[in-house]
Amino acid sequence: MFDRRLITNFDWVLLLTVSVLAGIGILNLYSATANWHDAATPLYMKQMLWFGGGVLLAFLICCFDYRHLEHFAIHGYILSVGLLLYVLLLGKSSMGATRWINLGFFNLQPSEVIKIVMVLVLARIFGRTAHPLGFSFAELWQPALLLLVPVVLILKQPDLGTALMVVFIPLSMLLFAGLQRRTLLWLSLLGILTAAAGWFGLHDYQKARIRTFLDPEADPLGSGYHIIQSKIAVGSGGFFGKGFLQGTQSQLSFLPERHTDFAFSVFAEEWGFTGSVLLLSGYLFLIVWGLYIARRASDRFGMFLAIGVTAMIFWHIIVNLGMVIGLLPVVGVPLPLFSYGGTSMVTMMIGVGLLMSVSMRRFMF
């Protein structure tokens, strides 16, 4: 029998917050592409369709008891790894990278899907094995192995930004699960050594991005062009901005990738410091609300599931904003609910649906 408490405990706050952020993103996308005159469907309308489909998907997911997903997490992991292997063999290539599977009406990016799957798998593991003393280094072999496989496959595409996201999300969940002090020291040392050794495994364009991050003015018309124009756009917005559709960097096409990676730069130029603070306050509220849902979860699996989804949203925000203002290298990470992209939007809305499912069932034991 359907429990009426599921309706009375529906998380309208979460849905409203997500809708406001996505609505601002669609409005910003309209401005960013206002001077694009072609016969194709405008990108902001496509984004509206993706968001509408995402909302419907979130509703369907929240009607499903998230606790059943614990039993299918491993199956989802095997399927996702299989899709990543398929991408390497038969995937669609674009701009020197092979990341998509052409489904005709939609280009599926399995590296986005694996983020949700890793959250489910690790929520299952941590929910069953976490203990008050924290994990020792030896106890982390299973999650480490499960993490290593998709990270290697994603790096082969190559897609450094998504690979970093797939690493950051489990690490955040692990910190909430608890680590022994010695384990934390070992992981820190391992991370430093991996980062140092990883330099030699990077592609030339990835090394160029890091050099550009350190000194963007060294090649202002080449590799440093994106970040220089982005910082000009953000800085020129001033306190109140230039106004909607009045941003010169975007409207005069100085700012590249203004509908995807640098969507926030368009917004900051048009709405200034004041608008940026309001937008970031909305994102901050979303993160805090996600942690609030995790705190109220009725079981450990739900708690780690909510933490994982919240960490996914958090790291996308941090890395994207760090990119556009020059604090981090440009690694192609979209701003959640804001940058254009069908797979990214659907992935985020799946996460929102999982948060809703956990929130609605907080009273069930």
Contact residues for 171 (Cβ-Cβ < 8 A; gap 6+): none
**Does residue 140 lie within any of the structural domains?**
yes
Query: What is the mean pLDDT of the segment spanning 122-133?
Result: 87
> Which of 6-10, 120-124, 166-170, 346-350 has the weakest average pLDDT?
6-10
**Does residue 30 lie within any of the structural domains?**
yes
- Give percent of the chain above pLDDT 70: 90
**Does residue 110 lie within any of the structural domains?**
yes
Q: Does residue 118 carry a pLDDT above 70?
A: yes
Contact residues for 11 (Cβ-Cβ < 8 A; gap 6+): 62, 293, 355, 356, 359, 360
pTM for the predicted model, two decimal places: 0.90
Rounded distance between C-alpha atoms, residue 116 and residue 308, angstroms: 8
What pLDDT is stored for residue 362 in this prediction? 79
**Does residue 106 lie within any of the structural domains?**
yes
DSSP annotation of 2: -
Give DSSP secondary structure letters for 206-248: HHHHHHHHH-GGGSTTTTTHHHHHHHHHHHHTTTT-S-TT--H
Q: Does residue 1 carry a pLDDT above 50?
A: no
Burial pattern 78-95, b for ≥16 Cβ within 10 A else e, equals eebbebbeebeeebeeee
pLDDT-derived band at 119 (thresholds 50, 70, 90) equals very high
Domain residues for the domain of 219 are 5-360
- Dihedral sign computed on CA atoms, order 335, 337, 338, 343: positive
**Does residue 365 lie within any of the structural domains?**
no
Residue 278 identity (one-letter amino acid): L
**Does residue 29 lie within any of the structural domains?**
yes
Give the chain's domain count. Answer: 1
pLDDT tens digit string along 221-260? 666 777 888 888 888 888 998 988 888 887 777 777 888 8
Rounded distance between C-alpha atoms, residue 204 and residue 318, angstroms: 25
Neighbouring CB atoms inside 10 A of 113's CB total 19
